[in-house]
């Protein structure tokens, strides 16, 4: 009897140990698998919408807002055998029986991006802050601008001209690409600046001593006071972070008034237009440009890639002779393969209207130029993720799926 109690105790301890080991292992596996699954869902959604745009179908996005997984760990243990005295020890053998089971019950909540949020996040043009964030991630400028830019609006002596990022524009498209290659060349040679304008914003000029209450109020708002004893004037100013500027010079070397004037010019345009000023006398200034870079929406980016299958296919564009530093310049901004059957060696693939749409896999050891597609698709994925962040706080109807 005493030996049976020992066996029972051992079984209890063993079952606790097994369940304790399985719990973190199962959780670890679940976290990794759910993360992998959600990332593949987002990638497939992008490919699916590119395929829809190829046939001029309306795009539709659904975001996974939450995944709640409940794990049920169960252990069973028992003793099999007889009790009593037997002449033959093998007559009543004692055996151990145990079992361990893990049940997983995931609940996934998805949110269709519709209504006002769809318009705001998918149809509305991207802003300069998004562009600046991606530039600082180290992505190539030529890649970013080919994806994100709708075109250039350029101020010239004979008026304003538009260069549209659309192959059907012909010469306008060629010139747009050459301008981008020139900016990317300057960026590669460390001669391009993409930074907000910093200047002192002068608010008021007084010709009388200020009231102390005015000084206190202005100081609380971040303003500073300067007095000129000779003229008796009092100037109110504060440091200001202005709009984004793309230039071939360091704007901080300009006078405060020049920087302020550039900011005043920039704020005439919405945040989806970024001021560009490539001046003579600085690196790359023999190919000058003054105007704005016009950003487009995620919907327009997807439509641009979708039309590249057949309707509005990109073609090779060589850089201008004045562009000296070479950069990567593939024919297609983002090439998605269309095929009748699912191809081999792919990263992602979806089926739509009986055809397969896939992205080729980049293999280790291949030359750097071959991974352009993967990088461009990663940029598109980042743009999508930046657009659908924190959708859970908006009153959009959610769909909950229980497995």
The per-residue pLDDT for 334 is 93
Nearest to 326 by CA among 189, 209, 138, 200: 189
The per-residue pLDDT for 5 is 47
Q: How far apart are CA 269 and CA 295, in angstroms?
A: 12
**Are the CB atoms for 197 and 243 separated by under 8 Å?**
yes
Place of tokens 């360091």: 250
The per-residue pLDDT for 233 is 73
| E-only strand ranges, 279-354 | 289-295, 337-339, 346-352
The per-residue pLDDT for 180 is 97
**Are the CB atoms for 30 and 71 separated by under 8 Å?**
yes
Q: How far apart are CA 233 and CA 8, in angstroms?
A: 94
Pairing, β 337-339 against β 355-360: antiparallel
Domain spans, the chain? 1-113+370-403, 127-328
Locate 95 and state its tokens.
């055996």
Backbone φ and ψ for 275, nearest 5 degrees, come out as: -70, 130
From the CA atom positions of the chain, what is the Rg in Å? 32
| Residues sharing a CB contact under 8 Å with residue 46, sequence separation 6 or more, in sequence order | 302, 377, 380, 381, 384
The per-residue pLDDT for 11 is 45
Regions in the chain scoring below 70 on pLDDT: 1-35, 37-38, 63-111, 113-115, 117-118, 203-210, 215, 229, 231-232, 363-370, 388-403
Q: How far apart are CA 335 and CA 346, in angstroms?
A: 13
Secondary structure string (H, E, C) spanning 231-281: CCEEEEEEEEEEEEEEECCCHHHCCHHHHHHHHHHHCCCCCCEEEEEECCC
**Are the CB atoms for 30 and 72 separated by under 8 Å?**
no
Structure confidence by residue, pLDDT tens digits, 167-213? 999 999 999 999 999 999 999 999 999 999 999 887 665 666 667 77
The per-residue pLDDT for 35 is 65
Q: Residue 341 in 3-state DSSP?
A: coil
The per-residue pLDDT for 14 is 47
pTM of the model: 0.76
Locate 386 and state its tokens.
């930046």
């Amino acid at each position: 009897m005493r030996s049976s109690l020992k066996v029972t105790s051992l079984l209890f301890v063993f079952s606790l140990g097994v369940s304790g080991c399985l719990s973190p292992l199962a959780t670890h596996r679940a976290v990794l698998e759910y993360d992998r699954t959600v990332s593949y869902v987002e990638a497939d959604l992008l490919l699916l919408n590119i395929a829809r745009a190829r046939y001029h179908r309306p795009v539709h996005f659904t975001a996974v807002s939450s995944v709640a997984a409940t794990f049920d760990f169960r252990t069973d243990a028992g003793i099999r055998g007889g009790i009593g005295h037997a002449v033959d020890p093998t007559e009543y053998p004692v055996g151990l029986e145990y079992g361990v089971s893990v049940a997983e019950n995931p609940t996934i909540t998805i949110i269709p991006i519709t209504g006002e949020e769809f318009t705001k996040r998918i149809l509305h043009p991207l802003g300069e802050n998004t562009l600046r964030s991606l530039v600082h991630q180290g992505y190539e400028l030529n890649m970013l601008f080919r994806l994100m830019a709708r075109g250039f609006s350029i101020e010239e002596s004979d008026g304003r001209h538009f260069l549209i990022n659309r192959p059907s524009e012909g010469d306008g498209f060629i010139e747009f690409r050459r301008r981008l290659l020139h900016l990317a060349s300057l960026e590669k040679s460390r001669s391009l600046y993409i930074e907000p304008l910093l200047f002192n914003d002068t608010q008021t000029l007084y010709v009388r001593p200020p009231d102390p209450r005015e000084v206190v109020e202005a100081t609380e708002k971040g303003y500073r006071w300067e007095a000129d004893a000779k003229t008796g004037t009092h100037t109110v100013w504060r440091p200001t972070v202005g709009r984004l500027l793309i230039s071939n010079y360091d704007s901080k070397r300009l006078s405060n008034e020049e920087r302020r004037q550039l900011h005043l010019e920039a704020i005439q345009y919405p945040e989806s237009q970024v001021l560009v000023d490539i001046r003579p006398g600085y690196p790359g200034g023999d190919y000058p440009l003054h105007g704005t870079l016009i950003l487009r929406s995620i919907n327009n980016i997807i439509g641009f890639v979708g039309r590249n299958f057949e309707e509005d296919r990109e073609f090779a564009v060589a850089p201008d002779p004045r562009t000296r530093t070479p950069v990567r310049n593939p024919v297609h901004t983002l090439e998605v393969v269309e095929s009748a059957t699912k191809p081999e060696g792919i990263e992602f693939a979806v089926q739509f209207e009986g055809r397969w749409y896939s992205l080729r896999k980049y293999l280790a050891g291949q030359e750097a130029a071959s991974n352009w597609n993967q990088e461009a698709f990663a940029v598109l994925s980042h743009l999508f993720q930046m657009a659908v962040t924190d959708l859970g706080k908006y009153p959009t109807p959610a769909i909950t799926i229980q497995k």
